[in-house]
Amino acid sequence: MSVLLEARALEKQYRLGGGRVLHAVSDVSLQVHRGEALALVGESGCGKSSLGRTLIGLTHPTSGEVLFDGHRISGLSDRALRPWRARMQMVFQDSSAAFNPRRTVGESLAEPLRIHGRKNIRARVDELLDQVGLARSVADRYPHEFSGGQRQRLNIARALVLGPDLLVADEPVSALDVSVQAQIVNLFRDLRASLGVACVFISHDLSVVRQMADRIAVMYLGSIVEEGDGLEVLDRPAHPYTKALLDAVPRPDRPLPPPLKGDVPSPVNPPSGCRFHTRCPIAQPKCATDRPSLQPCGEGRRVACHYPLVA
């Protein structure tokens, strides 16, 4: 599979005033292949949304670069980025905020087609509604007339309008009820199979991620701590943080193990050494001083830990 999107040593920092700097994304390198589904997982504040937005050019990285289809897109002006926008789109969590409430959804879906000078607009809108499993007649209705699940289908249709190669979906199902969530999870699977579109899913729900993603990157305090095949990472976690995240998911079949202590440290003032060492159940003295880099660990897998749980 060829590489569609590549991030090289990406950094994203926000200045907070008083000389303080928030390190949202720190030294992230990753690849997304054509048609692949990559999931970014981690707790709130770990930088997964910042990374997603930086990958797609919605925010500019502080340093490092993003290559799309072999071309450098980071640092481009908004105008220069516009042709690339058609090829990468974002699906937002809150589908009710993603549509103009005063326009019919058909008008909203048609707008990008007009801006990009496409022909046969009505036929394209019909095709999109078919693809996301909605009746063509809904094009004449307004966003408030739809249920949450239907609106998320429209939200996906909106992202697909220009036929992108890549979707970045930020928590696409976390606001939905379980039964509707299952429908949208299936829809993503169908769309990837039929359209071959690559997806970066940002999610905190590991069971959803396991169902949706080919590959998983686990983030902690702005950095990737483990990356690899989805089932491999979740079924045999190598990083103690991945294991702690999995252990914390309440399941019907076993009692909760003792939870991780404390909260995620502040990204303004991250711990020395391995950033996870303050909460890690197996931390050694070395972890407080030496920062582990992301090293290969088995096939197609990388882990940033001095003492990985699997060799």
Partner 1 sequence: MGAEALLDIQNLKLDLPDGRRLLEGVSFQVQVGEALGVVGESGSGKSLTAMSVMGLLPGLRASGQIVFAGQDLVGLPDKSMRKLRGARIAMIFQDPMTAFLPVRSIGAQIDEQIRLHQPLNRREARARTVQLLGRMGVPDPAMAAKRYPHQLSGGLRQRAMIAMALSCSPDLLIADEPTTALDVTVQAQILTLLREIRDEGAGVMLITHDMGVVAQACTHVAVMYSGLVVERGPVRDVLDRPLHPYTQALLAAIPPLEGPRPEQLPTIPGQPPTPENRPSGCVFAPRCSFVRPDCAVRPALIETEEGRRVACVLYAA
Distance of CA 270 to the CA centre of its chain: 23
Q: Please, which residue, 281 or 296, has the CB nearer to partner 1? A: 281
Residue 15, beta-bridge partner list: 21
Q: Please, which residue, 190 or 290, has the CB nearer to partner 1? A: 190
Please tell me the distance from the alpha carbon of residue 235 to that of residue 38, in angstroms, as a whole number.
16
Give the nearest distance from C-beta 62 to partner 1 in angstroms. 25
Q: In what order do the strands lie in the sheet with 3-17?
A: 20-33, 3-17, 63-68, 71-72
Give the nearest distance from C-beta 223 to partner 1 in angstroms. 17
Burial string for 187-203 (b: 16+ CB within 10 Å, else e) reads: bbeebbeeeebbbbbbb
Contact call for residues 52 and 168 (beta carbons, < 8 A): yes
Q: Please, which residue, 20 or 251, has the CB nearer to partner 1? A: 251
Give the nearest distance from C-beta 282 to partner 1 in angstroms. 16
Please tell me the distance from the alpha carbon of residue 25 to that of residue 7, in angstroms, as a whole number.
12
Q: Please, which residue, 43 or 107, has the CB nearer to partner 1? A: 43
Give the nearest distance from C-beta 168 to partner 1 in angstroms. 21
Give the nearest distance from C-beta 250 to partner 1 in angstroms. 4
Which stretches of the chain bind partner 1, using CB under 8 A? Answer: 43-44, 147-149, 177-183, 185-186, 189, 204, 206-208, 210-211, 231, 234-235, 244-253, 255-256, 259-260, 262-264
How far is the first Cα of the chain from the last one, in angstroms, to the nearest whole number? 26
Q: Please, which residue, 145 or 290, has the CB nearer to partner 1? A: 145
Give the nearest distance from C-beta 269 to partner 1 in angstroms. 14
Q: Please, which residue, 59 or 211, has the CB nearer to partner 1? A: 211
The encoded tokens of residue 281 equal 């159940």
Environment class of 277 (CB within 10 Å of its CB; exposed 0-12, middle 13-18, buried 19+):
buried
CA distance readout (Å), 16 to 43, 61, 75, 223, 250: 21, 16, 22, 20, 36
The encoded tokens of residue 145 equal 């007339």
